[in-house]
């Protein structure tokens, strides 16, 4: 397969490195990466870096769209010459529908939408995938294997993509925000802020390990919440302030934003 990327942010970088390190991804040529960064000093083995709009005579089987939603139309226009009939277009652009992508490219293409998250940097992403029915199984498997290089995949319907984006695509940022809140609580005299942050991260890691082997999170939380104890006192404040509702409203807000992006691009 000949593969090109349009855009080279964190996600494209993670995918490129995942492809290059994978044993089960066969490339016919270098990966070609089109970008509009002001610096032109990228260097990566088996990669050819080109500025957007730069002439390229290569023909690509798969093109990845890895830009911000607001930049998508411009990116497609700047690189319009590399789009051909019968290509597979893989979009990791939040909120943009398959129909909208096809309308912008205006070729006889097949589209796969993907929503990975930032954990792809460490090959621990959770990626939602939805593909058009016109894509043959071999090509679909090839695309899936690319995303397996950077973590776990789940095949979903396109109408589930907004929720998947809100929960899993943005999810790492929610967890980081909660951790920041823990770090910002009262300081210790004998524990530095740096050590405090490290201990919180160790606590998160240990808690995750417990959750992986428990069948019911609620039961486990109840076991570590003594009646009239300190943990219960804290949880009651969460409940009093509708912490659960805040989380649900936040997910809904992200989902609605994804829907709004899709509607604006129709």
pLDDT, residue 247, reads 96
Q: What is the pLDDT along the chain (266 residues), one digit of tens a residue?
A: 899 999 998 899 999 999 998 888 888 888 999 988 765 556 778 888 888 888 888 899 999 999 999 999 999 999 999 999 999 999 999 999 999 999 999 999 999 999 999 999 999 999 999 999 889 999 999 999 999 999 999 999 999 999 999 999 999 999 999 999 999 999 999 999 999 999 999 999 999 999 999 999 999 999 889 999 999 999 999 999 999 999 999 999 999 999 999 888 66
The residues pairing with 129 across neighbouring beta strands, listed in sequence order, are 114, 155
pLDDT, residue 41, reads 59
Greatest C-alpha distance within the chain:
71
Domains delineated in the chain? 3-161 (3.40.50.720), 169-261 (1.10.3730.10)
pLDDT, residue 40, reads 57
34-41 contacts: CB < 8 A, separation 24 or more? 34/4, 34/5, 34/6, 34/7, 34/78, 34/79, 34/82, 35/6, 35/7, 35/8, 36/75, 36/78, 37/8
HSE, side-chain direction, 13 A CA sphere, residue 74: 9
pLDDT, residue 196, reads 95
Instruction: Give the DSSP H/E element, type plus range, for residue 251.
Output: helix 243-264
The residues pairing with 155 across neighbouring beta strands, listed in sequence order, are 129
């Amino acid at each position: 397969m000949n593969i090109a990327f349009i855009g080279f942010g964190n996600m494209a970088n993670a995918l490129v490195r995942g492809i290059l390190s994978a044993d089960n991804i066969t490339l016919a040529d270098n990966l070609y990466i089109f970008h509009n960064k002001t610096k032109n000093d990228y260097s990566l083995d088996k990669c050819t870096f080109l500025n957007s709009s730069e002439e390229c005579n290569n023909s690509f089987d798969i093109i990845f769209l890895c830009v911000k939603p607001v930049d998508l139309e411009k990116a497609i226009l700047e690189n319009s010459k590399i789009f051909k009939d019968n290509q597979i277009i893989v979009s990791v652009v939040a909120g943009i529908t398959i129909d909208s992508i096809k309308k912008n490219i205006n070729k006889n293409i097949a589209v796969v939408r993907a929503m990975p998250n930032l954990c792809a940097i460490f090959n621990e992403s959770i990626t939602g995938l939805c593909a058009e029915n016109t894509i043959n199984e071999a090509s679909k498997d090839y695309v899936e294997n690319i995303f397996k290089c950077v973590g776990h995949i789940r095949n979903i319907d396109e109408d589930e993509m907004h929720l998947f984006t809100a929960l899993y695509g943005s999810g790492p940022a929610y967890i980081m925000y909660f951790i920041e809140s823990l770090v910002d609580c009262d300081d210790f005299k004998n524990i530095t802020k740096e050590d405090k942050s490290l201990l919180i991260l160790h606590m998160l890691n240990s808690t995750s390990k417990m959750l992986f082997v428990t069948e019911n999170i609620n039961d486990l939380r109840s076991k570590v919440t003594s009646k009239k104890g300190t943990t219960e006192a804290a949880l009651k404040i969460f409940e009093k302030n509708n912490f659960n509702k805040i989380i649900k409203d936040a997910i809904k807000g992200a989902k609605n934003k994804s829907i709004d992006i899709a509607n604006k691009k129709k």
